[in-house]
Amino acid sequence: MSRDAEERARGLKLMAFDVDGVLTDGTLFLADSGEEMKGFNVRDGHGMKMLRASGVAVAIITARRSRVVELRARELGIELLRQGVEDKAAALAEIAAGLDLAESAAGYMGDDLADLPVLARCGFAASVPEAPDAVRSRAHYVARAGGGRGAVREVCEFVLRAQGTLERAIESFLAGGGW
């Protein structure tokens, strides 16, 4: 973790996530019919919901196109979904501009070399332990949990903690309200 990771996370108004290797463990299941299946972590999804409820916009930006990702985004209430993206940095900049945010108020979590341009431009860069060293060394925060295994939840809680909203989220569940 970089020394200024918490300060960077404190100012986030938008957090975007890659899919393969971040929201999933990177494994692609392809049926004979060509149908694609992915495994998503329920706790990761809940972390994204908590982040949204705290006032941080959540986006998904991925190079691949997949119906299952569209379904998962809809299930989580994530409207900021960009699939088939070649230039993820441009996609994040477009989303941030649409929300009237500076790129410094936007974060991104990626796991591979194709994510380097967006990780270099955003205000808060996060990654997973399985990422190549070239990615991990440029991230402000590297999750201890693996991609598809709680890494997203860990990053969401890190942001919530940095912004002072994690305890409020926990208290709402203790009171039986949830989100």
Question: What are the phi and psi torsion angles at 33 (to 5°)?
Answer: -75, -10
178 has pLDDT over 70: no
Express each pLDDT in 27-69 by its tens digit. Answer: 988 889 988 889 999 999 999 999 999 999 999 999 999 999 9
Angle separating helix axes 67-76 and 42-53, nearest 10 degrees: 50
Q: What is the mean pLDDT of residues 99-124?
A: 97
pLDDT of the residue at 49: 94
The predicted model scores a pTM of 0.94
Helix extents (H) in 11-66: 42-53
- The neighbour count for residue 42, using CB atoms within 10 Å, is 9
CA atoms lying within 13 Å on the CB side of residue 65: 4
Residue 71 and residue 36 in contact, taking contact as beta carbons nearer than 8 Å: no
Average pLDDT over residues 89-98: 97
Whether the pLDDT of residue 174 is over 90: the answer is no
Rounded Cα distance between 88 and 94, Å, is 10
Pick the CATH number of 5-174 from 3.40.50.10330, 3.40.30.120, 2.130.10.10, 3.40.50.1000: 3.40.50.1000
Name residue 106's beta-bridge partners.
14
Helix (H, G, I), strand (E, B) or coil at 106: strand
Binning pLDDT at 50, 70 and 90, where does residue 118 land?
Answer: very high
Task: State the pLDDT at residue 160.
Answer: 97
Residue 124 corresponds to which amino acid?
A: F
- Give 58's strand partners: 15
